[in-house]
A = this chain, B = another copy of it.
């Protein structure tokens, strides 16, 4: 963990180093993924069978090895204890409500020149959702990806997920039942992403691929961007907590650790205007780590990437937050509004002392799939828009073409495109 203070002489250099420290790209992964994509494109299901055996110890022999049926998902749902089922349903209902209000309106208007124009939003035909196996198999993540697609109106929603040694997570299957997943394929890794993008004999290709995954999955999505739409290039996750001394340091410590426990590459940063409060939070983190079941991961993340930055005044915080462009930003102060206005780059902001980031991971409603690795400078969280596309339209009658056509002719000639000009001129005659 690093301690920084804006009053240090070399703060700017130290902070710059912190911002740029975490490396994401791995040339080896990129080359391996390129090979896997080429194999799946060329050999389809046969390649999937080989990779599944090699990486997941799962034989894809008979039809039942390939899919998890909706009936099995229903059974998993029925088998949940009622508290968990209620929690999943509450999460799904709240996510659905938030994303339904996100549906974009169509436009259709005629302007003063008589030109009718507008745009129509439509869902993609099919979306593929990657769901990791093992430790990172989160039902909340399935809901956060699948529900916006369903709300968008996607007709075919396909999950691919590895089932290492044949095992799957009943909570994930229950979430798939709630979300109304149409197909679940038991393949994982870059090969699953390739199958979704190119299609195989068994797996029909999709138009958009979303969902979290390891470095191979993320790189496969990056390489296939353009063949299909993808949600975003995912990197390591981060939280920035901006807190004054009037917070309970235990709460803030837990918030920082809730990010750190995700992955050793996660980053948790505290900005405070009180060095003593910062030291208290540090002590609480050490105490909590002593009993935390995920302490190995959380400690690795906190030791390697954690930071406490002491500022002279919280007025200095937004400039630093905008450099960090963090995935999650907590504003643990009595009146967070002025800070919210000044923070330009953040995936999601959590306002006030009673809004721990974790409520956003599960049940608040807004999406928890957010831009990471400083990408909040230009990227947004997942939304229904990721599963839709806009078709613009234009309609002219003779009068409207008479009004704006001559300008098109002049510009087409000036650009050296005579057929463009002719297509308008012929109609103006």
- Interchain CA distance A122-B371 in the complex, whole Å: 15
Which residues in chain A, 180-228, are within 8 Å of chain B measured between CB atoms?
Answer: 207-208, 222, 225-226, 228
Q: Shortest beta-carbon distance, A398 to chain B, in Å?
A: 6
The answer to whether B87 touches A125 (Cβ under 8 A) is no
- Interchain CA distance A355-B265 in the complex, whole Å: 54
Whether A86 is near chain B, meaning CB under 8 Å from some CB there, is yes
The answer to whether A366 touches B119 (Cβ under 8 A) is yes
Q: Which one of A69-77, A272-280, A307-315, A379-387 is at the interface?
A: A379-387
- Interchain CA distance A412-B111 in the complex, whole Å: 53
Q: Shortest beta-carbon distance, A330 to chain B, in Å?
A: 10
The number of times this chain is found in the oligomer is: 2
Q: Contacts A390-B380, A411-B87, A419-B292 given; indicate if A351 touches B424 (C-beta within 8 A).
A: no
- Interchain CA distance A407-B378 in the complex, whole Å: 32
- Interchain CA distance A401-B418 in the complex, whole Å: 65
Max chain B Cβ within 10 angstroms of own Cβ: one of A348, A358, A365, A385: A358
* Consensus secondary structure, chain A interface: mixed
Q: Inside 8 A of A376's CB, which chain B residues have their CB?
A: 389, 391
The answer to whether B84 touches A423 (Cβ under 8 A) is no
The answer to whether B365 touches A414 (Cβ under 8 A) is no
Residue A408 contacts which of B124, B358, B419 (CB distance < 8 angstroms)? B358
The answer to whether A229 touches B378 (Cβ under 8 A) is yes
Q: Contacts A346-B391, A363-B407, A392-B349 given; indicate if A356 touches B251 (C-beta within 8 A).
A: no
- Interchain CA distance A188-B251 in the complex, whole Å: 52
Q: Shortest beta-carbon distance, A270 to chain B, in Å?
A: 14
Q: Mark A391-418, 1 if CB is under 8 A from B, else 0.
A: 1111111101100111110111011111
The answer to whether B367 touches A392 (Cβ under 8 A) is yes
